Amino acid sequence: MKFNKIGIIVGHEYVTRVRKKTFLLTTLLTPLLLGLCFCIPALIMLAGGSEHYNVKVIDDSGICAPFFENDDATTYQITSGEDAVALSKALKENGLYAVVRISALDADGNVTVDAFSDEPLNVDVKGNVKHAVNKAVEARKLTAYNINDLDKIMDAVRTDIRINTMTMTESGEAKEDSAELYMILAYLMGFVIYLFVFLFGNSVMQSIIEEKSSRVVEVVVSSVRSVELMMGKIIGVALVALTQFVMWVALTLVIVVAFGSVASQKLAEKQPEAVASIMAAEGNGSIDNIASLVEATSQDGENVGMVKILRQISDLNWLYIIGCFLIYFILGYLLYASMFAAVGAAVDNAADTGQLQMPITIPMLVGLFMMLHVFQHPSSPIAFWGSIIPWTSPMVMLSRIPFGVVPAWELILSIGLLLLAFVATAYLSARIYRRGILSFGKKSTFKDLFKWMKNN
């Protein structure tokens, strides 16, 4: 193999693809969409609901009125004996969002509740009404037991236990963790690997099919060897994929960091005293830890779960995680792209690739299914073998890494086997490519592929 010729092919593939409008559009739009996915929910939470609801409650039970409390979003007008149906026909004229009718108590001390509105009832309003009525009925029933200081007893009994999960490190220290966070991170990395490998591997196959169907390849192979052409295409597309991935990460981070700065200012405007106190605690006049910011602006620890998650995210070994992701992404792509290249060389058009792609798509799908098991059992035998076998290891190993259960020898063995599998697959694919690239007019079968692999 002449590496200078491979370099020329790599450069041609790279420049041709990065100049396409589709590459530019997807590279710019994808980070924007990802950034919006991160930012929009937070923006909605910061902005809060701007609508105010006026709700008339017709309480014929005589027990529910004290349990309705007005807040910033809802004002309750408590009456009794009015006609709810008549009022519901002129809600806007009466300045009402909804009318709630609470029936009189039945023989069992229960009530029925009907709500009338011009549009489906807001979920928060519905939940608040239900909560108030339930509390009223429960309180009346409990009163029948004649228990002194019942409210204090119920408050003392009511419990919300939080479980702090700790993992023991090799040094014997206890480290707080979150399996849910690791599952989300593992799924994202595994799915991104699957998506990128499939998309860019398929791109290699389509490129080969186009050149083969247009007979351009006949001219190209007169100047370079077929194996050089195959490797040039694979590496060229790999560099395009890496370029796009790095730009996606960089642009997404810029968008999220810029949003974080704006969000901090908005929070400072809403709760200046809390933010000022945490700034003083940081000692540098600014907030460097977003978890500290959330903690400072929380009410009575209501966001303690979010604070813990943010701290756990910041404590992750991101250099190790991203490094492993890049290694498995590159090697996984090279392994599958070699197989896609062989399929592209063996057919005349994309319609004939379905059957030949089965040995490629099945292992990838198996890897995705194994990830679901790994989330619950990251140290099980299935998880171990799935992360060692090269055709599933890019997805399965990445779903184990965030849990911190992968010894160094397993990681080295997995990467080594994946590298060997790529070399072996590339060698066999090159044999198929050499024969298939100049084969026209006949639909290739698995028998043909095996014959080309055995013959020089």
Report the percent of the chain where pLDDT is more than 70.
76
- Return the pLDDT at 134: 92
The mean predicted confidence, pLDDT, of the chain is 78
- pLDDT band, very low/low/confident/very high, at 129 (cuts 50, 70, 90): very high
Which structural domains are found in the chain, ordered by start? Answer: 3-42+178-454 (no CATH), 53-148 (3.40.190.10)
Q: Is the predicted pLDDT of residue 416 greater than 80, yes or no?
A: yes
- Return the pLDDT at 299: 45
Report the percent of the chain where pLDDT is more than 90.
12
pLDDT digits (tens, 9 = 90+) for 225-244: 777 778 888 888 888 888 88
Q: Give this prediction's pTM.
A: 0.65
Q: Is the predicted pLDDT of residue 172 greater than 80, yes or no?
A: no
Lowest mean pLDDT among 161-175, 229-243, 305-319, 430-444: 161-175
- pLDDT band, very low/low/confident/very high, at 384 (cuts 50, 70, 90): very high
- Return the pLDDT at 178: 64
Lowest mean pLDDT among 32-41, 116-125, 383-392, 425-434: 32-41
**Top-confidence residue, 1 or 402:** 402
- Return the pLDDT at 48: 52
Instruction: Average the pLDDT over 5-28 and give the result.
Output: 81
**Top-confidence residue, 385 or 194:** 385
Q: Is the predicted pLDDT of residue 296 greater than 50, yes or no?
A: no
- Return the pLDDT at 420: 95
**Top-confidence residue, 6 or 219:** 6
pLDDT digits (tens, 9 = 90+) for 248-257: 778 877 777 7
**Top-confidence residue, 162 or 175:** 162
**Top-confidence residue, 435 or 69:** 69
- Return the pLDDT at 235: 86
Instruction: Average the pLDDT over 30-47 and give the result.
Output: 67
Instruction: Average the pLDDT over 96-117 and give the result.
Output: 89
Instruction: Average the pLDDT over 99-112 and give the result.
Output: 89
- What string of H, E and C letters represents the secondary structure of the chain? CCHHHHHHHHHHHHHHHHCCHHHHHHHHHHHHHHHHHHHHHHHHHHHCCCCCEEEEEEECCCCCHHHCCCCCCEEEEEECCCCHHHHHCCCCCCCCCEEEEECCCCCCCCCCEEEEECCCCCHHHHHHHHHHHHHHHHHHHHHCCCCCCHHHHHHHHCCCCCCCCEEECCCCCEEECCHHHHHHHHHHHHHHHHHHHHHHHHHHHHHHHHHHHCCHHHHHCCCCCHHHHHHHHHHHHHHHHHHHHHHHHHHHHHHHHHHHHHHHHHHHHHCHHHHHHHHHHHCCCCCCCHHHHHHHCCCCCCCHHHHHHHHHHHHCCHHHHHHHHHHHHHHHHHHHHHHHHHHHHHCCCHHHCCCCCHHHHHHHHHHHHHHHHHHHCCCCHHHHHHHHCCCCHHHHHHHHHHHCCCCHHHHHHHHHHHHHHHHHHHHHHHHHHHHHCCCCCCCCCHHHHHHHHHCC
Instruction: Average the pLDDT over 210-222 and give the result.
Output: 69
Instruction: Average the pLDDT over 351-356 and give the result.
Output: 75
